[in-house]
Amino acid sequence: MPNSKPTTPFSGKMERKGNQGEIAGILVEFLEVAITSVVYLKGIYPSGAFERRRYMNVVVQRARHPQLREYIHSAVSGLLPSIQKGLVERVAVTFFNTDNIPMERFIFKLTVNQSFGSKVEESDLEFSLRSFLIKLSVSQPLTTVLPRDCRWEIMAYFRSLPQVSTSKDAEMWIPTDTKQWQQPPLITPIKSMNSEPLGLQLYLEHPSSSELVSG
């Protein structure tokens, strides 16, 4: 599947129009909080770079540094139109070693039922998503210890790419030149839900042992 990463940060107000807009809007807000939680969990920045906030009645972390906060916000908010149209398959937070090789990926796999016609209760959706934030906060034992000089980025995998000519947001994402693993990764599930109209899976990907030897 095509995968992309955001270019320079941009900002935009999230609009929720209709049922799909409400679902996508809640999901995008959730992703912003969850990705910030992932970055905090990995400890690649000092703890003082974050501050405690409450979201969906759960204590979470918010980035204090403006550039870090804007990068995460702009990346996920730029996906809003594509999520509304069902074009986004996965959103990944990928961590690299000093050789620019992926060492760990947190994967959010999305399924939004475009034909779902009933009204979605926001409280029900938030209740389901809240459990992901709780599970994520205690998932550090499942993760890999990263080198000190590692870097990370947000990536999106599209089922099909938006038409650049008709979508300004598509222009905010560029194809990535990230090195890919040659062998299937090791997958560690963290949390999943599958209820109409939203399906969501959160899992870890790590390179296989043969990949590490060959690398």
Instruction: Report helix, strand and coil shares of the chain as percent, to nearest 5.
Output: 35, 30, 35
The domain segmentation of the chain, as residue ranges, is 19-206
The pLDDT of residue 15: 40
The residue among 145 and 36 whose pLDDT is bigger is 36
CATH superfamily, domain at 19-206:
HORMA domain (3.30.900.10)
pLDDT at residue 122, as a whole number? 81
Separation CA 10–CA 70 (nearest Å)? 8
Whole-number pLDDT of residue 165: 44
Distance CA 42, CA 37 (A): 9
Q: What is the distance between the alpha carbons of residues 50 and 39, in angstroms, rounded to a whole number?
A: 10
pLDDT digits (tens, 9 = 90+) for 189-207: 999 998 778 899 999 999 9
Question: 23 burial class (0-12, 13-18, 19+ CB within 10 angstroms)?
Answer: buried
Q: What is the C-alpha separation between 100 and 153, in angstroms, rounded?
A: 11
Average pLDDT over residues 68-83: 93
Picking from 4-13, 18-27, 58-67, 196-205, which range would have the lowest pLDDT averaged per residue? Answer: 4-13
Rounded Cα distance, 210 and 186, in Å? 11
65 in Cβ contact with 49 (< 8 Å): yes
- Please give the angle made by the CA atoms of 4, 33 and 95, to the nearest 5 degrees: 45
Across 5-14, 27-36, 81-90, least confident range: 5-14
